[in-house]
Amino acid sequence: MCHKMRQPRYWLILPFKMAGLEIISDQGYRIDGRRSSELRKVCARMGVFTQADGSAYIEQGNTKALATVYGPHEVRKGRGKIQHDRAVVNCQFSMATFSTGERKSRPKGDRRSQEMSMHLRQTFEAVIVTELFPRSQIDIYVQILQADGGNYCACVNAATLAVIDAGIPMKDYVCACTAGFIQDSPLLDISYVEESAGAPFLTVAMMPKSEQIVLLEMNSRLHADNMEKVLDLATQGCKDVFAVLDRHVRDHVSESHALMTAS
């Protein structure tokens, strides 16, 4: 199921300067036809794997991510990891070898994957009600199938749906979105081409109802005069993502209830 966020009904063929790569045209459109404050098209499905306790697939533009959740279950490895008052959250991030045009091997243990795994663990430790499951473990596995910018955000949003599908209580949804400052303009939900322009951008993960930010990362320096505008746009993007994810969850619950009733 797909939801479009104020997308234009047609693509505009605009004279972008490829030498200097003009990200925004004189008419105010980006390379993919969006306005500065528009999300990419979001498609999502829940319950895509019956073997997992929870699973979800999401597309945000051309970025595609798959998340699976197992648990809560007994801690099987490393008895030293057991927490007597809460569950241990284990997150593993990986990229499919075909996810980018480079077609090179990306082992799970590389530095970037470890960093992404750590960020995901920190994010979900903040929102999962782990104290309900002492001496247990929750595993979250996320893989990027196709990368086109906003990889961490797609992983967070897919994992949120998978955790909900697993029936694991959370304090709130956790939704993530990027925003950048390119050509003196804040841009929401930036693509790989926009990320590659070298301009500053930040990534935000937040609980939309309480507006509590659980992760904030910047790739480079951003002047204080522009920081508030970019942060405000990113947090609004998280709220827009929440509206889309919430519709997907409600639709999934309705469909599941209808199937149970029919059977």
At 148, list the tokens.
């086109």
Summarize pLDDT for 159-195 with one digit per residue, the tens: 999 999 999 999 999 999 999 998 889 999 999 999 9
Nearest to 154 by CA among 75, 196, 96, 231: 96
Amino acid 91: pLDDT: 97
| Residue the block writes with tokens 């059977």 | 263
In angstroms, the CA 234 to CA 153 distance is 11
Amino acid 113: pLDDT: 92
CA distances from 40 to 5, 34, 75, 200, 215 (A): 7, 8, 39, 19, 21
Residue 148 identity: D
Amino acid 78: pLDDT: 64
146, 102 contact by CB (below 8 A): no
In angstroms, the CA 71 to CA 166 distance is 8
What are the two backbone dihedrals, phi and then psi, of residue 42, each rounded to the nearest 5 degrees?
A: -115, 125
What are the two backbone dihedrals, phi and then psi, of residue 190, each rounded to the nearest 5 degrees?
A: -80, 145
DSSP 131: G
The DSSP secondary structure of 11-52, one letter per residue, reads: -------TTTT-SB-TTS-BTTS--TTPPPPEEEEE---SSS
pLDDT at 7 over 80: no
Average confidence score pLDDT of the chain: 88
Percent over 90 (pLDDT), the chain: 70
In angstroms, the CA 91 to CA 253 distance is 26
Summarize pLDDT for 51-90 with one digit per residue, the tens: 999 999 999 999 999 999 999 999 977 655 889 999 999 9
DSSP 53: S
Q: What is the pTM of this model?
A: 0.89
pLDDT at 17 over 90: no
Within the chain, residue ranges assigned H as helices are 111-125, 151-165, 192-195, 224-262
In angstroms, the CA 132 to CA 200 distance is 40
In angstroms, the CA 10 to CA 8 distance is 5
CA dihedral 110, 113, 114, 115 (to 10 degrees): 120
pLDDT at 102 over 80: no
